[in-house]
Structures are given as structure tokens and as C-alpha cells.
Amino acid sequence: MQLPDPSFLLIQCLSGLTYAMFLFLIASGLSLIFGILRVLNFAHGSFYMLGAYLTYQFVSYFINSPAYFWWAVLFASVSVALIGGIIEMLLLSRLYVREELNQLLFTYALVLILGDFAKIIWGTGQLSISRPAILKGAVQIFGQYFPEYNIFIILLGPGIALLFWLIMTHTRWGRIIRAAALDREMLGTLGVNVSWLFTVVFTIGAWMAGLGGALVAPIAAIVPGMDVEIIISAFIVVVIGGLGSFWGTLLGAVILGQVISFGILVLPRLSMVFIYILMAVVLILRPWGLLGKPLKR
């Protein structure tokens, strides 16, 4: 068997990384919400989907502005954050005292409601928007072309990861959020309004999902069903990396991105199978994920 051209492999690797950065953005929001609120948010993929649809919508509003794409990304991701915050404040916050099953059913209900909502407003067809003007081109890497927009995403991912890490470790807000993940009752007795903190964390998580959806809009089809597709992948990422572990999420996203990207080369129809095998192996050997910690209750 002849080995493929190295530059082709590099491009494949970069494609995998692009996908990984979206997965990271979604999965880290999911992981953050689980880590602090102890709620597994099925609707996280729906926030991602809303981010993409709203970007499509805002692009049509801002089309006459030169930086219309960036405005649309900003407005769409912030709208999703606000929707998330309102949902947490008015509805989800009432369910923390209930069993976990009630919370799961609630977030699953949100998946169905938001999915139908999107179909009613934007229909069932496939929508798309074009890449922003300044990133329309492609760069040549060893003779192969690779889109500039994807390079932007590959650079943005670690940037957001770094920013996030700095906030969590070097700001008082970050320290309070980490403390909330460890012992929320104790934190309350120290004078921190934990229910407000939960709203803020859920809003940030929803914003990350919305931003992921907004940024994926120019390079993916905006269709009903993108919510469920991404949430499954995001769950796999956090299972592999370790739910609640920040670096684990990044590692899980990179692994998943690469396995899908190269799996397609080896056995195109079975690329997802590799992922499930990997997840099964991790679950058997390290049920808490590669970089996670065993959950204490």
C-alpha cells in the first residue's frame, strides 16, 4: 500500500482540528454547566443550532454593513446567551431540588421545543451563509489549498481556551465558580448568591454554544438535526476527556476531530464506529475520562 502524500495528511489533520475547535467550544460549555450546576444539558446542541440560525437571520439584517458577518456572530451568540439565561432563571432553577431525572426530562423537552421552533421559523430546508469577506481566500500549504476561515477557527479555539483558563484560575470570579463546583452550600454560607451564580454560569455556557453555532454557520449546512448531531459528539468528547475537566475537554475534542478526519480516509462509512470504540474503551478503563476525576457525591 502506498502512503498518501504528506501534505494531504497535513490538510486532513487541519480539517480535523477545525472540527475539534467547534467540538471544544460546545463541549466545554456543556462541561462547565455540568461541573457547576450538576445538570446534564441536552439542550446544549439546541443552543448551538439556534446560534447558527440566528446568525443566518442577523446576516440578512446587517447585510449592508461591511462587517455584517461579525455583527451577526455577536448578536446571535449574545441572543443565545440571553435565551439560556432566561430559561435557567425562570424554569431550570426550580428543578435543582428535584431528582436528576426531572432535570434531564426538562432539558430533553427543550431539545424538542427549540427544534420545532426552528422548523416553524426557518423551515426544514438547508440554509447557508457565505464566509466573511476578509477570510474568503485560501492559503497554500505544501501545494494544497486550505481555507483561511478554517485557519482562523484553528487559531481562535486555543485563544478561547486560554482566555477561559485564565479567567478560571486568575480572576476572583473564576475562583468562585471553581469553589461552586466543589461545595455550593458552603459557598452560600460565605455570602455568595449561588442561584445568581448558576444563572451566570448557564448564560456563559449557552453563549459558548451559541458562538460555536454562529462560527460554524459559514462552513456547515444550517439544517434541523444539527442540534442532535453536535450534542452526541459533545457528549463523546466529555466522556473521553472527563466531564468537568477543562483540559480533558480540549484533549477529547482534538482526539475526536482527528479520529473522524482520518477515519474517513481508512473506512469512510465506518468513521463514527472508531469513535464509539474509543469511547467504549475509555469508559471501561477510565470511566471518569482521560483527564477527569472520579465523581464524588
Does residue number 190 form part of the binding site for other proteins (CB under 8 A)?
yes
Size of the site for other proteins (CB under 8 A): 17
Judged by CB under 8 A, which of 78, 135, 176, 228 binds other proteins? 176
SS (H, E, C) the chain: CCCCCHHHHHHHHHHHHHHHHHHHHHHHHHHHHHHHHCCCCCCHHHHHHHHHHHHHHHHHHHCCCCCHHHHHHHHHHHHHHHHHHHHHHHCHHHHCCCCHHHHHHHHHHHHHHHHHHHHHHHCCCCECCCCCHHHCCEEEECCEEEEHHHHHHHHHHHHHHHHHHHHHHHCHHHHHHHHHHHCHHHHHHCCCCHHHHHHHHHHHHHHHHHHHHHHHCCCCCECCCHHHHHHHHHHHHHHHHCCCCHHHHHHHHHHHHHHHHHHHHHCHHHHHHHHHHHHHHHHHHCCCCCCCCCCCC
Does residue number 172 form part of the binding site for other proteins (CB under 8 A)?
yes
Rounded CA gap, 64 and 45, in Å? 30
Minimum distance from residue 158 beta carbon to other proteins (Å): 23
Minimum distance from residue 100 beta carbon to other proteins (Å): 18
Does residue number 189 form part of the binding site for other proteins (CB under 8 A)?
yes
HSE (CB half, 13 Å, CA atoms) of 189?
A: 3
Minimal CA–CA distance to 248: which of 32, 37, 17?
32
Judged by CB under 8 A, which of 83, 194, 230, 234 binds other proteins? 194
Cβ atoms of 107 and 43 within 8 Å: the answer is yes
Minimum distance from residue 203 beta carbon to other proteins (Å): 19
Cβ atoms of 50 and 216 within 8 Å: the answer is no
Q: Which stretch binds other proteins (CB under 8 A): 24-32, 123-131, 145-153, 187-195?
A: 187-195
Does residue number 193 form part of the binding site for other proteins (CB under 8 A)?
yes
Q: Which stretch binds other proteins (CB under 8 A): 20-28, 52-60, 155-163, 191-199?
A: 191-199
> In the complex with other proteins, which residue's Cβ is closer, 166 or 190?
190
> In the complex with other proteins, which residue's Cβ is closer, 109 or 186?
186
Judged by CB under 8 A, which of 21, 39, 73, 187 binds other proteins? 187
Minimum distance from residue 175 beta carbon to other proteins (Å): 5
Minimum distance from residue 170 beta carbon to other proteins (Å): 10
Q: Which stretch binds other proteins (CB under 8 A): 41-49, 190-198, 218-226, 234-242?
A: 190-198
Does residue number 179 form part of the binding site for other proteins (CB under 8 A)?
yes
In degrees to the nearest 10, what's the CA dihedral of 205, 209, 211, 212? Answer: 140
Minimum distance from residue 181 beta carbon to other proteins (Å): 8
> In the complex with other proteins, which residue's Cβ is closer, 142 or 196?
196
Does residue number 228 form part of the binding site for other proteins (CB under 8 A)?
no
Judged by CB under 8 A, which of 141, 175, 267, 287 binds other proteins? 175
Judged by CB under 8 A, which of 64, 140, 143, 185 binds other proteins? 185
Does residue number 178 form part of the binding site for other proteins (CB under 8 A)?
yes
Per CB under 8 A, residues contacting other proteins are 172, 175-176, 178-179, 182-183, 185-194
